[in-house]
Amino acid sequence: DTTPKKCMAVAAHGIRTVGVIGSGQMGLGIAYVAALRARVPVLLHDRSEAQLKKGLAFMDKLLDKDVTKGKISAEDAKETRGRVTVISAEKGLAGMRDADMVIEAVSEKLSLKEAIFKELSAKVSADTILATNTSSISITKIAAATIPEGQTASSSEGSKSASRVVGLHFFNPVPVMKLVEIISALQTSTDTLDRARNFAVACGKEVTTSQDVPGFVSNALLMPFINEAIMCLEKVGASFVIQRYIIVTSCLIEQGVATRDDIDKTLKLGMNHPMGPLQLADFIGLDTCLAIQQTLYNGTSDSKYRPSVLLERMVDAQWLGKKSGKGFYDYDA
């Protein structure tokens, strides 16, 4: 794809080579979109040779399917596959030396991620962006792990090292899902954020931004939703799943974790929901949402059902959603 828009995006992120650590379903998907869509050379590393082999076989399968369906040419598939270089377990993270950006996609364990980022920061150039695909772990904590021995968070070398760390949260399956959620650590520089955003766009993704809160916007919303569903199944504190989801959502906007549009976009593009929770709340009617939440709260005395103050105030203002012409969104009369 050589459209002017794509070329501009590639130029804007300045990533000539990307490294991916972990070749499980997320890492492999990231390597695939980087090689196929952003058209950059990819260094793919996994400490398990068996996992690397499995990942590459899956990539071949995806490319074959795209060729069979006429989505890409056989030449494109060959070039894409040619962009992927395997970095063996033996070579280790030293094999990432030439990468301008490394995206870590290993299992969701803080100690493992901290060890990888500590080692990486010592082995790659000081300008290499270090991104993590974590679903919930503090990016700020991971960034702190990159401060070199003998340096402090405020020393020039220490703060520079942490400033290139960013959260780049892809969704599963990566080749299909349109969203990348970008999370800024307290230390992340504007330049790191801009380059990470431009790279995600070059990979064919839309982006949202979230502050570094546990689970970010996506999992702060999705996991209570899933947990409540499980509780319904267990018949423990059975509740109205959608209402709980709307309560958490309005708390996120109330706390300024993300914008209205980014909150809704996260659920629409990250989880393929037909409409985001704030739009859904407008559709239900904010007074109805509040009344249901009050019933839940009064009936259970469980603080997780406490309606957000913002929702109460919006109902006070008679902003009731679609039916009144104004809610989280504005509607024509």
Chain-centroid distance, C-alpha 233: 28
Are 10 and 202 within 8 A, CB to CB? yes
State which of residues 88, 155, 227, 272 lies at the interface with ligand 3HC (CB under 6 A): 272
Q: Supply the minimum distance, in Å, between the C-beta of residue 111 and ligand 3HC.
A: 19
State which of residues 4, 69, 90, 234 lies at the interface with ligand 3HC (CB under 6 A): 69
Element spanning 249, H or E: helix 241-254
Distance from C-alpha of 273 to C-alpha of 18, rounded to nearest angstrom: 31
Q: Supply the minimum distance, in Å, between the C-beta of residue 222 and ligand 3HC.
A: 6
Which position among 13, 45, 169, 273 bears the catalytic label? 169
Q: Supply the minimum distance, in Å, between the C-beta of residue 66 and ligand 3HC.
A: 7
Q: Which is nearer to ligand 3HC, 171 or 305 (CB)?
A: 171
Task: Tell me how far apart the 2 most distant CA atoms of the chain are, in Å.
Answer: 66
Beta strand 129-132 pairing with 42-45: unpaired
**Of residues 134-173, which lie at the interface with ligand 3HC (CB under 6 A)?**
135, 171-173
Q: Which is nearer to ligand 3HC, 76 or 312 (CB)?
A: 76
318: left (phi over 0), alpha (psi -120 to 50) or beta: left
Beta strand 165-170 pairing with 179-184: antiparallel
Which position among 135, 210, 239, 250 bears the catalytic label? 135
Q: Is the link from the previous residue into 173 a cis peptide, with omega within 30 of 0? A: yes
Q: Does 271 bind ligand 3HC (CB under 6 A)?
A: yes
Could you say which DSSP state residue 307 is in? Answer: P
Binding span for ligand 3HC by CB under 6 A among 5-13, 41-49, 250-258, 268-276: 268-276
Is 13 part of the annotated catalytic residue set?
Answer: no
Which position among 219, 239, 250, 308 bears the catalytic label? 219
Burial track 136-167 (b if 16+ CB lie within 10 A, e otherwise): bbbbbbbbbbbbeeebeeeeeebbbbbbbbbb
Q: Which residue is nearest to ligand 3HC (CB)?
A: 135
Are 60 and 81 within 8 A, CB to CB? yes
Q: Supply the minimum distance, in Å, between the C-beta of residue 29 and ligand 3HC.
A: 7
Is 272 part of the annotated catalytic residue set?
Answer: no
**For 68, how many CA atoms within 13 A lie in the half-sphere containing its CB?**
6
Distance from C-alpha of 228 to C-alpha of 193, rounded to nearest angstrom: 34
Is 135 part of the annotated catalytic residue set?
Answer: yes
Q: Supply the minimum distance, in Å, between the C-beta of residue 78 and ligand 3HC.
A: 18
Which position among 23, 181, 210, 218 bears the catalytic label? 181
State which of residues 55, 175, 224, 277 lies at the interface with ligand 3HC (CB under 6 A): 175
State which of residues 23, 132, 146, 219 lies at the interface with ligand 3HC (CB under 6 A): 219
Are 199 and 192 within 8 A, CB to CB? no
Q: Which is nearer to ligand 3HC, 142 or 296 (CB)?
A: 142
Binding span for ligand 3HC by CB under 6 A among 7-15, 89-97, 113-121, 218-226: 218-226
Which residues are part of the catalytic machinery? 135, 169, 181, 219
Point out which residues bind ligand 3HC (CB under 6 A). 62, 65, 69, 135, 171-173, 175-177, 218-219, 222, 270-272
